[in-house]
Amino acid sequence: MLLIKALGGICVISACGVWGLKASRSLERRREQLKDLRMAMNFLEKEITYMHTPLSLALARTAYYSEAPISFLFELSSRYLSEKKGLTGGEAWSKGISFMRKHADLKEKDIALLKTAAQQLGMSDASEQKKYFALLQEQLKILEERALQEADKGQKIWSYGGFVLGFTVVLLLL
Amino acid sequence: MALLDELIVKKEVISYLSPPIRELFCCLKKDVYAQLEEIRLRCAQPVLLKIGDKDFSIDEQGQMNSSINRGYRVSEDDIYRTVAAISDNSLYAFEEDIKRGFITVPGGHRVGLAGQVVMKGHEICNIKDFSGLCFRIAREVRDCARPLLHHICDSKKCRVKNTLIVSAPRCGKTTILRDIARLLSNGDISRACNIVVVDERSEIAGSFRGIPQLDLGPRTDVLDSCPKALGMIIAVRALSPQVIITDEIGRKEDVEAIQECVNAGVAVVSSIHAGNLEELQKKPLLKELLSMGIFQCAIFLSRRKGPGTVEEIIRWD
């Protein structure tokens, strides 16, 4: 009986610990993904404002030079646009976001920021696009800094918190 | 032929329209595509098809109607989606075209743009908030200029005469110029010539990203979107043409450039807006050119028996 209780306790503590570690890792991944996103947007801006590359091709090139899961956003948007089935750039972008968010650790506010790009992407002249990208970069930078602070604070809490919670549950059950 | 027209128009023009408007075109007869000259989309107004001199609309069941008020009303979303399609969702990549008021799509078809014009000083720097689009369907009418070639070519001297193609708008000047370029370049009738087409408005060659979409023959170079006067000078210096073909001359610098080309031994074939010889002679700059005897031939066109009807040929040689 004691052995079963001990095994049960270890299972509870391990499960809570792994949950805490995963949450902690997710915070770190979110920060990394926001950084990748900012870099990718920077690349896309250059393709649009300096190279004047058509949007579908610019998105495909950005996908090639960015890391997964952020690259999924650009790859999928580019694919939808290349099919030429009447989708606008904004609609293709929104579909790309929906697919990417399933694989990314981004929060709702990060996604909301990305969604604002749907109305702007491609449908103005280069100088307007440049202004929009500059604004987007600034907002992404702020999100990234906050994500860094959250990761610094949250990582320890979640890493140890999971195990502490596990111990507490076990103590309560005993 | 009607089937070919239908396929070309559906692939190269209708595919750019917004999905609701595209669907309306499914029920149209094949003959309509063969005669279709323009498709006009105006915000909150019916879709208009220009066939010959008449306007038709298409109702929501896809039936063509001469009573235009029954036609499908174009929404803002239709305009937005169509603009997105013709620009490949990349208006920034077509800035120069938009400043000039149109975008050329593959196949050489021109889409005229109407909307809010943004000025910078005295120059147009952008058009935004589009409210109207005009698809002008580019058609090659092969051999339409063949009967005119013996007036243009001097068989004794083996050279092309400086020629003016004169008509009011929509009488087929550009189509005739395009065919003249193709025939002279092929050497079908006269000796084959090196041709340079200075295509300021991308109408003659219908270039898309610099590549001519319409057949201008194997010995033709195209200076696309290039101001006529500048293009003629560049052509003489760099491309050693025997003939320069350009559209709609009329500015002082065009006249000076033509003089320079002619003095360099290069023949010029150009078009100009005028209804008849009297109207042509009323244009002060042209009067000067004509009095100098630079042009040896003028071909007057009308739409009396359809676009490209030759009304009169005047020779001054």
Which residue segment(s) compose the domain that B79 sits in?
2-136
Q: Are B172 and B306 part of one and the same domain? A: yes
Q: Name residue B152's amino acid.
A: I
CATH for B216: 3.40.50.300
pTM: 0.81
Structural domain total, chain B: 2
* Contact (Cβ atoms closer than 8 angstroms) between residue B234 and residue B197: no
d(CA A138, CA B131): 33
Beta-bridge mates of residue B54: B51
Q: Name residues whose C-beta falls within 8 Å of residue B142's C-beta, 6 or more positions apart in sequence.
A: B179, B182, B215
ω into B227 cis (within 30 of 0): no
Hey, what are B85's tokens?
């399609």
Facing residue for B19 by CB, picked from A86, A89, A123: A86
Looking at the domain assignment, is residue B127 inside a domain? yes
Q: Are B89 and B151 part of one and the same domain? A: no
3-state secondary structure of A19: helix
Out of B114, B136, B158, a domain closes at B136
Measured CA angle at B127 (ends B125, B132), to 5 deg: 160
Q: Are B261 and B279 part of one and the same domain? A: yes
Contacts B126 to A, Cβ<8 Å: 125
Q: What are phi and psi of A28, to 5 degrees?
A: -65, -40
Residue A80 vs residues A59, A75, A76, A95, A100: alpha-carbon distances, Å: 11, 9, 6, 8, 14
CA closest to A87 among chain B residues:
B81
Q: Name residues whose C-beta falls within 8 Å of residue B259's C-beta, 6 or more positions apart in sequence.
A: B289, B292, B294
Beta-bridge mates of residue B198: B223, B246
* Cross-chain residue pair A126–B95, CB shorter than 8 Å: yes
Region for residue A24 given its phi and psi (left: phi exceeds 0; alpha: psi -120 to 50; beta: otherwise)? alpha
Out of B102, B136, B170, a domain closes at B136
Hey, what are B51's tokens?
């066939």
Percent of chain A with pLDDT over 90: 49
* Contact (Cβ atoms closer than 8 angstroms) between residue A49 and residue A130: yes
Q: Name residues whose C-beta falls within 8 Å of residue B271's C-beta, 6 or more positions apart in sequence.
A: B164, B165, B166, B167, B173, B174, B176, B177, B246, B247, B248, B249
Q: Are B131 and B154 part of one and the same domain? A: no
| Interchain contact B75–A (C-beta under 8 A) | no
Looking at the domain assignment, is residue B141 inside a domain? no
Q: Are B209 and B304 part of one and the same domain? A: yes
List chain B pLDDT tens, one digit each, 317 residues.
Answer: 555 678 888 888 999 999 999 999 888 888 888 888 899 999 999 999 998 888 999 998 888 888 888 899 999 999 999 999 999 999 999 988 899 899 988 888 889 999 999 988 888 888 989 999 999 988 888 889 999 988 888 776 678 899 999 998 888 899 999 999 999 999 877 778 899 999 988 889 988 878 898 999 999 999 998 899 999 999 999 999 999 999 888 888 998 999 999 999 999 999 998 888 888 888 887 888 888 888 999 999 998 888 889 999 988 87
Looking at the domain assignment, is residue B233 inside a domain? yes
* Cross-chain residue pair A125–B91, CB shorter than 8 Å: yes
Minimal C-alpha gap between B281 and chain A (Å): 43
Facing residue for B81 by CB, picked from A48, A52, A88: A88
**ipTM over cut 0.90:** no
d(CA B136, CA B37): 6
| Per-residue DSSP letter, B49 | E
| Per-residue DSSP letter, B74 | P
* Contact (Cβ atoms closer than 8 angstroms) between residue A105 and residue A81: no
